[in-house]
Amino acid sequence: MVTQNIDFLHQRAGSRRVIAVHGDYWSSHCLDCSEPFELSQIEELLRKVDVPRCSCGGLIKPDVVFYGEAVRDLEPAAAVVSNSDLLLVLGSSLTVLPAAFLPEQAGGDVVVVNRGEVGLSPGPRRFFADVDLDEFFGEVAEHLGAS
Ligand SMILES: [Zn+2]
């Protein structure tokens, strides 16, 4: 799974092989000495101060990719996508670069499910559903006899 989400929900839901190209806020680090911090430590610091700082005095930043910073693990993400038989792009307008380029590298069929326009041009192995994800997967479950 390749995600742009930073909320760690895929991992908490049980997904084991997640490439979070925009990082996540589950961990943080000191901008001066690189000391790592877990979310629970940050939560504890935020009960006492508005801006958490390391014991060295440096600012602590969540391990989330900010605008202007390099995206993480783009090469492994591209490898997963290019080796896929079927790529599901779910709930993304495909407008945030460079992750938006990943579907261009898909080795198989691409199914994009997103409400509204997406930044991927039509192609022979590309399928688009302009619909809400809950509605889409409700119909899939119905077809599979799961509801
Ligand atoms: Zn520090």
Phi, psi of 135 (to 5 degrees): -65, -45
How many angstroms separate the alpha carbon of residue 45 from the centre of ligand 1?
14
How many angstroms separate the alpha carbon of residue 74 from the centre of ligand 1?
28
Beta bridge partners of 62: 28
How many angstroms separate the alpha carbon of residue 24 from the centre of ligand 1?
20
Going by their DSSP bridges, the two strands 23-30 and 60-64 should be labelled as antiparallel
Q: Does domain 2-64 have CATH number 3.90.550.10?
A: no
Token pair in block for residue 50: 């508005």
Delimiting residues of CATH 3.30.1600.10 domain(s) in the chain: 2-64
Query: Out of 10, 22, 29, 143, which one is annotated catalytic?
Result: 22
Beta bridge partners of 78: none
22 tagged catalytic: yes
pLDDT tens-digit map of 30-89: 999 999 999 999 999 999 999 999 999 999 999 999 988 999 999 999 999 999 999 999
How many angstroms separate the alpha carbon of residue 36 from the centre of ligand 1?
9
Query: DSSP secondary-structure letter at 58?
Result: P
pLDDT tens-digit map of 91-104: 999 988 888 899 99
